[in-house]
Each structure stands twice: as structure tokens, then as C-alpha cells.
Amino acid sequence: MLAAAALALMVPFAFAGERDRPVAPAGEYPAIEIGRGDTQHEWPFSVERGNLTCVAIGSLKTVIFSEPWRTDVPQEFGNMTLPRSVIVSANPLALPASLEDRTLYASFDSLEVLIKRLAPFEAMGLALCARGGAEPQNREL
């Protein structure tokens, strides 16, 4: 209980520098449609095509892969099946965020195999942020 109270006090200060930075609306994040045959790297996803998006909030950048909108189920207002999305990262600590939609990853024997498959796609996604203007051009040291 003491740890929870300490965490509640520290969290607002952890992102203090980030709260003044603008957050882009969802449609303005740089994205690209990719497919299994479009790349020379081993395909890490269980679907043939999807969207690779770089979400940048301040200096924190996250790459996300989303499957296309499903056409095999009715898509009615109030009764939609949203596309599954997973984190694309070589950092094993970031991957549990995708636990709910983990079937979007192609089957893998070990975490090492998954990370080796995801690493080139993470680099591709981070390059989207750089091209999308989210990366500062003249960074000061």
C-alpha cells in the first residue's frame, strides 16, 4: 500500500516535461501500409497486410502494427469489430502492452525470435516519425 501511494505521488512528476508538448490527433500520425511480400525481412505478423504507424508523444516514440479493417463481419455503427494492434519493439518490456492481441504476431518459438523479427519493422516505423516531422532537425546536446 505504501508503494502504491509513493507511485501515485511520483507519476505526475515523471512526465512533467511532456505535458506541455502537443499531441497530434490520431489521423496525423505517420503511417504506411505494408505486406508480407513488400519486405525482405522475415514477416512477424499473422496477417498478410497491415498498417505500420509511428506514434510520437513528445520525445517518446512507439511503433504500432494494426491489421486492416475487417470486411468478413458486419461493421455497423455501435457494433463494430475494431482492428487488432500490437506494439512493434525490440524492447521485451514493451511487448506485454500487446498481450490482448498477441495472436497478431506470427507464431514464434522464443521471445528472442520475436524480437529479431520485429527489430527491422521497429526501425522502419521510427523512420516514419523522422520523415513525418516529429523528429527535431537540430537537436541540442
CA 111 to chain centre: 17
Residue identified by cell 489521423 is 27
pTM value is 0.70
| Predicted pLDDT of residue 132 | 65
Q: Where are the domains of the chain?
A: 21-71+82-130
pLDDT tens by residue, 4-35: 444 444 444 444 444 444 444 445 788 899 99
Alpha-carbon distance 112 to 104, whole Å? 17
Tally of CB atoms within 10 A around 43: 16
Question: In this structure, what is the dihedral angle of CA atoms 115, 120, 125, 126, given to the nearest 10 degrees?
Answer: 90
Q: What angle do CA 133, 114, 42 make, to 5 degrees?
A: 75
Model pLDDT for residues 52-108, shown as the tens digit of each residue? 999 987 788 999 999 988 777 777 787 778 889 999 999 999 989 888 899 999 999
Alpha carbon of 62 to those of 21, 29, 122, 123: distances in Å?
16, 11, 8, 11
